[in-house]
């Protein structure tokens, strides 16, 4: 278990228990806060879905959902502050709202936003991670219920990918293929004893049968457990030390045939820290930004959902450089998903 922020809700719950507050009273209060948080997501998703359907002509429209969770990080918890910073950079006046492939992000048929799940407010009521993960999954399903909205989730640390992928797979009725861009495989069984660690989401995803194929690209910090877990789950791991050899294959991926679609998870530290210094874990020798865009732009497959995680504003530099990097990733993924 790690860090002060992760224990805040637990300590609050212990105080209530010590004061002999009945457990059913605590649980009812927690449920009210959860319901209020989900209601806001639900109603915003309904509104945005109605708008897109009224405009017509959209088969898939990307919808942003923020999950500002940082307490499952093993080092720094700054990713909890990322979603608003990414949004700010997305709409910064220093650039325009057209993506590289020519889609206009101000068109709600391309991109809408349902806001952030109230993660810290929920945790402050003593809600544990088992229940919190269920709430995150439910928020994702609320977006997916509003056809043609498809969720693009703004993290947050990488632990959010497990409940998001679970929700997508359950809602679609079967597994997806996952393209995972990262410096780390994040497939520990339970890093530091935490099964929901940001270093463990893909172990939970593969255990649950939510992915048929998992391709991990950009890996350059992996130990024996990471490799053993990869073999156990049949993961396709593409390390940076062989990227020049693998480049052609990775820039011409075709995924999702025979399953419910493609999910993309982008950890910002897949990039070399020269391109993205605002991350918790500096791992030199990573992908260039254009490497990542080439992989994303050329991917063939039905992109049903995605996440961008592990941007840490507290380590950013040069007037929000990494915020702009994360924002551009979000913009290009939004264009890729919408149709």
What pLDDT band is residue 253 in, cutting at 50, 70 and 90? very high
pTM, full prediction? 0.94
H/E element holding 245? Answer: helix 243-250
Nearest to 131 by CA among 264, 237, 38, 58: 38
Question: Quick check: 100 and 293 in contact, CB under 8 A?
Answer: yes
Dihedral angle sign, alpha carbons of residues 245, 247, 252, 257? positive
* Per-residue pLDDT reduced to its tens digit, 128-163: 999 999 999 999 999 999 999 999 999 999 999 999
CA distances from 29 to 20, 43, 147, 217, 325 (A): 15, 21, 32, 43, 40
What pLDDT band is residue 317 in, cutting at 50, 70 and 90? confident
User: Residues annotated in the binding site for Mn(2+), as ranges?
Assistant: 158, 182, 184, 186, 267, 269
Half-sphere exposure of 317 (CA within 13 A, CB side): 8
**Fold of the domain spanning 29-184+194-337:** 3.40.800
User: Residues annotated in the binding site, as ranges?
Assistant: 158, 182, 184, 186, 267, 269
Q: What is the pLDDT of residue 26?
A: 85
Q: What is the pLDDT of residue 2?
A: 38
* Per-residue pLDDT reduced to its tens digit, 294-311: 999 999 999 999 999 999
Question: Quick check: 25 and 17 in contact, CB under 8 A?
Answer: no
Half-sphere exposure of 298 (CA within 13 A, CB side): 13
Give domain limits for the chain: 29-184+194-337
Give mean pLDDT, residues 195-221: 98
């Amino acid at each position: 278990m790690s860090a002060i922020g992760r224990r805040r809700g637990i300590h609050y719950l212990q105080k209530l228990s010590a004061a002999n507050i009945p457990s059913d009273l605590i649980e009812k209060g927690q449920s009210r806060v959860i319901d209020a948080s989900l209601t806001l997501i639900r109603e915003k998703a309904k509104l945005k879905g109605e708008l897109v359907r009224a405009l017509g002509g959209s088969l898939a429209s990307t919808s942003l959902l923020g999950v500002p969770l940082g307490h499952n990080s093993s080092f720094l918890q700054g990713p909890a502050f990322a979603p608003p910073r990414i949004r700010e950079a997305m709409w910064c006046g220093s650039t325009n709202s057209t993506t590289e492939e020519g889609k206009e992000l101000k068109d709600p048929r391309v991109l809408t936003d349902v806001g952030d799940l109230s993660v810290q407010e929920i945790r402050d009521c003593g809600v544990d991670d088992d229940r919190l993960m269920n709430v995150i999954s439910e928020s994702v399903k609320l977006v997916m219920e509003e056809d043609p909205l498809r969720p693009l989730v703004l993290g947050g640390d990488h632990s959010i990918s497990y409940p998001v992928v679970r929700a997508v797979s359950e809602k679609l009725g079967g597994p997806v293929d996952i393209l995972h861009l990262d410096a780390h495989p994040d497939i520990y069984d339970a890093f530091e004893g935490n099964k929901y660690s940001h270093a463990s989401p893909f172990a939970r995803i593969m255990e649950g049968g939510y992915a048929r194929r998992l391709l991990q690209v950009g890996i350059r910090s992996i130990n024996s457990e990471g490799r053993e877990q990869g073999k156990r789950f049949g993961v396709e791991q593409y390390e940076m030390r062989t990227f020049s050899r693998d480049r052609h294959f990775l820039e011409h991926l075709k995924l999702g045939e025979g399953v419910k679609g493609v999910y993309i998870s982008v950890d910002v530290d897949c990039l070399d820290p020269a391109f993205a210094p605002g991350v918790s874990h500096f791992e030199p020798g990573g992908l260039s930004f254009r490497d990542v865009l080439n992989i994303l732009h050329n991917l063939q497959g039905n992109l049903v959902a995605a996440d961008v995680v592990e941007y840490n504003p507290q380590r950013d530099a040069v007037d929000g450089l990494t915020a702009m990097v994360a924002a551009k990733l979000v913009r290009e993924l939004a264009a890729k998903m919408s149709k």
